[in-house]
Amino acid sequence: MPLPKDGLLSVARSFDPSGYFYDFDRPKLRNPDGSYSTEETMTEFIDGRWVNFPSIWGGRRVDFDTALELTRAEMGRGKVFPNFSSLEEAKKEAVARSEWRGTLGLLGFD
């Protein structure tokens, strides 16, 4: 989904570079180096697509199996996670999403 070129920053910042919604209300988890994380992306082949999903749920890191189970449950309720036709594209977009979110954090958009 392309972003409107003349849209408001408050609207545009809610969507990552691939056009997927980003929840800015996700709890932040402080890292030992002073930075913080909100997702820490994992990738899995689900229903014919490579899906990027968070390993941080409810403000805590969870293992792969738990994250996958939570993701599948959310998908069953209609939530759409970033998904791609190839593993390479999914990995590339996970990096782009992380860099995009980090840049917004540096600009004060937390």
Total residue length of the chain: 110
Model's pTM, two decimal places? 0.80
pLDDT computed for residue 47 by the predictor = 95
Does residue 1 fall inside a structural domain? no
- Give domain status of residue 2, yes or no: no
Residue 78 belongs to some domain of the structure: yes
How many domains, in total, are found in the chain? Answer: 1
* 90 vs 101, more confident: 90
* Boundaries of domain holding 98: 9-106
Q: Tens of pLDDT along 67-78?
A: 999 999 999 999
Specify if 53 maps to a domain: yes
The reply to whether 3 falls in a domain is: no
In whole angstroms, what is the distance from residue 8 CA to residue 49 CA? Answer: 31
Give the largest Cα separation in the chain, rounded.
41
Q: Does residue 4 lie in a domain region?
A: no
Residue 1: CB atoms within 10 A of its CB come to 7
